[in-house]
Structure 1
Amino acid sequence: LKQPRDYMTTFMFIGMIAGAVLGLLVAHPTMNLPVYTGFNNASLGTLFPILFVTVACGAVSGFHSLVSSGTSSKTVSNEKDMLKVGYGAMVLESLLAVLALCVAGAAAAADGTPAAGTPFQVFSNGVAGFFQMFGVPVYVAQCFMTMCVSALALTSLDAVARIGRMSFQELFSVDDMSKAEGWRKLLCNTYFATIITLAGGFVLTRIGYSNIWPLFGSANQLLSALVLVTLCVFLKVTGRSNKMLFPPLIIMLCVTFTALVQRLIALINAYQAGSATFLVEGLQLILAVLLIALGLTIVINSLRAYAAARKNSETSAA
């Protein structure tokens, strides 16, 4: 399902990004949103850590590590190509993030009021306006952008469903599943695991996009930090240099744990004030506690493994 459709939508995305870049260069619109309004924000708090948690995919993203291990690796025939595929995709996504900021700034009113509509609507209408400058009829431009946004949503959703199902199965799988207990076989069944993960996703949708986003960003960046910890251990035992991973690792651990603790305190305060509900704040509180516990467990165990591992031990054993 993913491979043929994603192959076709890739050309749509390239056309969308190319059109947006050319449109920005030709139109050279005025950025109506202010560049900086202060370190503190009335609704978001301080820029640290929310800025780093929000700007995720164009910087360091844990979700992409899951995509690369469970999806991308199965579509690349040569490991040497992963540098171009992985790094190239992140650079292109960073470009898309900058384009989105430019479009949002240009679409705002002259007094700095943000454009009305959802983020997808603002971006789609803005890029469609760029296409119109090249003689593309307005209905064709809007139709094309709607298809691009829909394809992006479908790609994200089925990738998340696949990766969520695989991660759920890995929690209960053993090396020899033919001799596993019946309950393990049930939980690792492809269809049963898919239903469970989709049901969990459906429950989260009831919470609301704006409510779940702070936790999503924190979980995403926490996962990237945990991947960096694991890679440090892997590179050490395989005799490779790993010093370049320590700066982003330390930064991401500080960012994610700060964001999670802040969110945990905010949720506790909401309960004390009597304004919390179980479906919204209650589920977020449970997830925040689980994420903090999970992160601490993996970091501590990984650091112990790193300290105990001997450099180049894997190559020496071979």
Structure 2
Amino acid sequence: MNGMLLVLIAFVLFITAYKVYGTYLQKLFDIDDNNVTPAHSMNDGVDYYPAKSPVLLGHHFASIAGAGPIVGPVIAAGFGWLPVYLWVVLGSIFFGGVHDYASIVASIRHQSKSIGFVIEKYIGISGKKLFLLFAWATLILVIAVFTIIVADTFTHIPSAGTSSILFMILAVLFGISVYRLKIKLWISTLVGVILLFLSIPAGNLFPLQLNTLTWQLILFAYIFIASVTPVWILLQPRDYLNSFFLYALIAGGLIGVFFAAPSINIPAFTTFSLDKVGYLFPALFVTVACGAISGFHSLVGSGTTAKQLNKETDAKMVGYGGMLIEGILAVLSLTAVASMVNEEFLDILVNKGPVPAFSLGVARFLHAIPFFNLSIELGQTFTALAVSAFALTSLDTATRLARFMFQEFFEVELKEDNKLNETLRNRFVSTGITVGVGAALTFSGQTMSIWPVFGSANQLLAALALLALTAWVIKTKKNFIFILIPMLFMFSVTLTALGMLIYQNLIINNYTLSIISLLLFVLSIILGIKAYVVLGNSKEFELPITEK
């Protein structure tokens, strides 16, 4: 099997799916640009602010991608390239793409509130409270882990810290130029992208050497500021410009694949069980995660993206299209490591990790482009820097999303003397509490010990989001099979994975992870029962499964 063929097949399938299945979903959701989106009707200049579709795609893609579609497929490749490839392609088209697109559309039809708000409307307020609490806790874990990862990266690669600071300054200038000085987007983009790539050698010239603790404190200050400032001045432009890193990485990697024409050297299938990963089911579907479907995407789509959607038709490109682009990145990641000799791949994966394995594979593709003349060493550096830049993007996006979850949790009918809820909903207070709890978890030393449960928690988010979206689609009296099947499948994956985590950690007396896994298991059962009771009594649920 040739890697070029794998990439070509995936590319054709994704283009076809976007045109055919994406259009079907667009009609099913009654997408109409005559409907005013909340970005306009609720414009507050801070969180609700319309963005042009390329800018919003950049923000959304940069936020959902991170290192997920790279790390997940690389680790899962231990099962063999075939199961990973099939799940990435089919998952992106029929699971992740549907999940992401529906999350954005459902959100804009509900004042661009989170999936928790949708749960409250169709399942009940107690379900909303449980979901928001779970989502907020999951995001706190993301904040803590990514703070550790980014701070360690900046400590060991000081040039990356300098370049990242330059990115921030450039983003602010870009935001001002587009939204205040009204300079054309293409002009600002051209200048911005040039300066973006020049900041890489600038970082090498002036590396900022600080210890890990100092970087962690700087990062906590940064994510607080990033969470409370208007999206147009930092979040939108930074993610938009950063996305060009990933676009360049994907484009260069894909072009390199066609010049290198690498053979696939790892087996198509190896085993049903991997050490430290688990059985093919459910481990494959939990491990690949962002490369096919991820619950984090629903938080981004209904959290920041929906609040910036300029018009309803943009949701297809941003939501469904963004997931398919991520699927292409996952296929590229798989091809990059599958082109290695199996012994080399396993050696790098075990001793150095998935990112170095991906970086080396892509660097070889870039090196194969005759007119590019890029050394493998420089290609590895560029690839690793691009991945670390997106870890930082996920960090500040997660902070703003956690703030939204916290605010919505206390969003109730306020009495005149109920000042506490009003205070807790203040964006500065809610952000301060969120960052404070994230910092406490970071400095506790327990962060990485509970990280293993994140994969299952993330996919539980996807299952719960699909549950809420299924309820919404049923209530709109539409064909709901397209979203019911992914929901049932993701619940089966999640419950099996959590059950295994409970058992495995009880055996080794790791009661902390066992209790957390048990709580997540019970949470999913409770929300599932609540949904079944509500929908079971719904007349819409009994309608023939045909579109009206």
TM-score (structure 1 length as normaliser): 0.84
Counterpart residue number, 1:315: none
The answer on whether the counterparts of 2:360 and 2:376 sit within 8 Å (CA) in structure 1 is: no
The answer on whether the counterparts of 2:355 and 2:384 sit within 8 Å (CA) in structure 1 is: no
Alpha-carbon distance in 1 for matches of 2:345, 2:361: 16
Deviation at 1:287, TM superposition (A): 2.4
- Cα distance change on mapping 1:240 and 1:157 into 2, 3 Å: same
Counterpart residue number, 1:72: 305
Match for 1:18: what amino acid? A
SS at match of 2:540: coil
Counterpart residue number, 1:295: 524
SS at match of 1:255: helix
Counterpart residue number, 1:192: 429
Alpha-carbon distance in 1 for matches of 2:323, 2:254: 17
SS at match of 2:255: helix
- Cα distance change on mapping 1:35 and 1:214 into 2, 3 Å: farther
Select which of 242, 248, 261 maps to 1:28: 261
> 1:304 aligned to 2:533?
yes
The answer on whether the counterparts of 1:107 and 1:114 sit within 8 Å (CA) in structure 2 is: no
SS at match of 1:141: helix
Deviation at 1:138, TM superposition (A): 5.2
Alpha-carbon distance in 1 for matches of 2:429, 2:460: 28
Counterpart residue number, 1:124: 359
Amino-acid identity (%) = 38
Alpha-carbon distance in 2 for matches of 1:217, 1:111: 26
Match for 1:95: what amino acid? I
> 1:163 aligned to 2:401?
yes
- Cα distance change on mapping 1:84 and 1:261 into 2, 3 Å: same
Counterpart residue number, 1:93: 326
**CA deviation vs aligned residue, 1:74-120 (integer Å, no higher than 9, x gap):** 22211122122111111111111111112122345656633242322
Counterpart residue number, 2:338: 105
Match for 1:44: what amino acid? V
Count of aligned residue pairs for this structure pair: 301
Counterpart residue number, 2:10: none
SS at match of 2:536: helix
Alpha-carbon distance in 1 for matches of 2:337, 2:507: 33
Counterpart residue number, 2:501: 263
Alpha-carbon distance in 2 for matches of 1:51, 1:106: 20
Deviation at 1:37, TM superposition (A): 1.6
- Cα distance change on mapping 1:180 and 1:154 into 2, 3 Å: farther
- Cα distance change on mapping 1:61 and 1:160 into 2, 3 Å: same
The answer on whether the counterparts of 2:410 and 2:424 sit within 8 Å (CA) in structure 1 is: yes
- Cα distance change on mapping 1:229 and 1:259 into 2, 3 Å: same
Select which of 247, 250, 253 maps to 1:14: 247
Alpha-carbon distance in 2 for matches of 1:135, 1:25: 15
Counterpart residue number, 2:467: 229
The answer on whether the counterparts of 1:54 and 1:217 sit within 8 Å (CA) in structure 2 is: yes
Alpha-carbon distance in 1 for matches of 2:362, 2:454: 27
SS at match of 1:55: helix
Alpha-carbon distance in 2 for matches of 1:144, 1:77: 33
Counterpart residue number, 2:226: none
The answer on whether the counterparts of 1:124 and 1:146 sit within 8 Å (CA) in structure 2 is: yes
Counterpart residue number, 1:150: 388
**CA deviation vs aligned residue, 1:128-183 (integer Å, no higher than 9, x gap):** 3322332135565345324312321111111111112211222222244x746343
SS at match of 1:114: helix
Alpha-carbon distance in 1 for matches of 2:486, 2:393: 28
Alpha-carbon distance in 2 for matches of 1:201, 1:156: 14
Deviation at 1:303, TM superposition (A): 1.5
The answer on whether the counterparts of 1:33 and 1:106 sit within 8 Å (CA) in structure 2 is: yes
Alpha-carbon distance in 2 for matches of 1:65, 1:297: 20
Deviation at 1:8, TM superposition (A): 0.9
Alpha-carbon distance in 2 for matches of 1:28, 1:212: 41
Match for 1:101: what amino acid? L
SS at match of 2:485: helix
- Cα distance change on mapping 1:111 and 1:6 into 2, 3 Å: closer
Match for 1:124: what amino acid? S
> 1:181 aligned to 2:418?
yes
The answer on whether the counterparts of 1:218 and 1:256 sit within 8 Å (CA) in structure 2 is: yes
SS at match of 1:29: coil
**CA deviation vs aligned residue, 1:270-296 (integer Å, no higher than 9, x gap):** 21xxxx4xxxx52x2342122122212
Alpha-carbon distance in 2 for matches of 1:55, 1:245: 20
Unaligned runs of 5+ in 2: 1-233, 542-548
Alpha-carbon distance in 2 for matches of 1:142, 1:100: 13
- Cα distance change on mapping 1:111 and 1:231 into 2, 3 Å: closer
Select which of 459, 472, 483 maps to 1:245: 483
Deviation at 1:200, TM superposition (A): 4.3
Match for 2:539: what amino acid? R
TM-score (structure 2 length as normaliser): 0.51
